[in-house]
Homo-oligomer: A and B are copies of this chain.
Amino acid sequence: MIAEILSIGDELLTGQKIDTNAQFICSELAGVDIGVQRIIVCADSEEAIVEQFTDSLKRSELVLVTGGLGPTRDDRTRKSAQQLLKRGLVFDREIYGRTLERYTRRGQAPPAFLRDNAMIIRGSVVVQNDLGLAPGMIIPCGERFQGHHLVLMPGVPEEMEAMMRHTVIPFFSGKSGCCIVHSHIKTTGIGETALAEIIGQIESRLPEGTSLAYLPHAAGVSLRVSSIGTDRVSVESDNREIVEAIAKEAREYVYAITDISLEELIGRLLLSAGLRISTAESCTGGLIASRLTDVPGSSRYFKQGFVVYSNASKEKTLGVRAETLETHGAVSEAAAAEMAEGCLVRSGTDIAVSSTGIAGPDGGTGKKPVGMVCLGLALRDKDGNIDIRTSAFYAHGDRLRNKLRFSEAALRMVWKELTNSLMQD
């Protein structure tokens, strides 16, 4: 079954409010194998709504509408549906009784609009509103629209969500014939285009019904593999085959084939290895620590972080040698190494990661341009000896993007180290 979602409301078109209802509905429908082909935000005018209802019902079997439903003057959804379908309203005694009871129970006089609120478009299935006043409606649209359905719901998220879960999804889930599987592949350290080159061969021989989407975001690229068909077993096997092929081909960059963040994965690896981590940051200014502590329960493995922005603090707090800073500069792998080592020793953790670089927009030189970062990693082995690794990385963006990319590179270094050392054990 193919669906379309309409969100009605002028406030969504002026940038004052963001439409979150559509996302909720999409994700509920995906769960019962109903695909959404379009989401449309439309102004709160009868003309626009009727025009949009017509377009949408022509091409989609199921049109779900939120907003513009309710007893106030600017709510025009019900009226537009009536106009389009040329149907009258009928008084629903049960809705009236239920809403009236809410007022009488509280000893309040019922408002005048309560009768109008209980008027339902003829021929529709009522969707109870347990959290508000305006009832929803599932309206079979008859011959003109080939038996397609129009579903009207209020725009208040909680009211709409309860209606979707309790009535709309159960009503339509029985009616869908096909099965959909989505998988996620999370990558780090590679851009969309370079990734596309690596997995181009796989992409060019996707089985029928399977598609691949690139979901780039500020820190990296996620992939989604979607498979659709009528037989669940073959849909799942098609999907798994592609996911495994991509994970193998791009193994250097794929950190998970489930929808988790890199910092969550690092948390799991640290917990399973019984290791604790600390951070020593210059150019990332606390962002690595902040990302690690974005994960619930991170206090079990993240112990401490140092933000050493000034040279004085690098020396005094982490024991970086003045000579190193003079000879190699604060932005150097030598400084990163001493920062990581000092951090490890002072925090008493098993692993420490450090960053020192130039986030920009100023401060770059020919040899050390804006966007350059040096990273350090200090590890305590089983005998208590400290191993140090360093690397350099270049980003290309504005200050905030560079900070984010730097932090991603640092987390990547930690991830690689943890997977390597876990594999050796």
Contacts and interface: CB of A to CB of B under 8 A. Distances in A.
Given A23-B15, A25-B15, A360-B296, A197 B287 contact: no
A422 interface: no
Most buried by B among A9, A39, A71: A39
A214 interface: yes
Most buried by B among A10, A111, A158, A194: A10
B13 A39 contact: yes
A10 B211 contact: yes
A14 B294 contact: no
A131 B26 contact: no
Contacts of A293: 285-286, 307, 309, 359, 403
Nearest to A400: B294
Interface residues of A, number: 114
A327 interface: no
A52 B40 CA distance: 11
Contact of A307 (B102, B156, B305): B305
A397 B106 CA distance: 13
A176 interface: no
B296 A285 contact: no
A281 to B, nearest CB: 8
A401 interface: yes
Contacts of A360: 296
A55 interface: yes
A360 B299 CA distance: 11
B74 A214 contact: yes
Contacts of A14: 26-27, 30, 36, 182, 213, 224, 226
Interface stretch (A266-274, A310-318, A379-387): A310-318
A16 B11 contact: no
A22 B41 CA distance: 10
Interface in A1-46: 9-20, 22-30, 35-44
B40 A40 contact: yes
A216 interface: yes
A362 B42 CA distance: 41
A72 interface: yes
B193 A111 contact: yes
Interface string A392-410: 0010111111010000000
A43 B228 CA distance: 15
A347 B203 CA distance: 54
A216 B75 CA distance: 12
A43 to B, nearest CB: 6
A197 B303 contact: no
Given A25-B15, A192-B70, A306 B303 contact: no
30 contacts: A10-B224, A12-B26, A14-B26, A14-B226, A16-B27, A18-B23, A38-B40, A38-B43, A39-B40, A39-B41, A71-B193, A73-B203, A74-B211, A102-B396, A105-B369, A106-B396, A111-B194, A133-B193, A155-B216, A156-B217, A281-B286, A290-B403, A293-B359, A296-B360, A296-B361, A303-B313, A304-B309, A304-B310, A305-B306, A306-B306
Given A304-B308, A305-B307, 12 more contacts: A10-B224, A13-B38, A15-B213, A19-B22, A40-B41, A72-B193, A111-B194, A281-B286, A284-B290, A293-B307, A296-B362, A306-B306
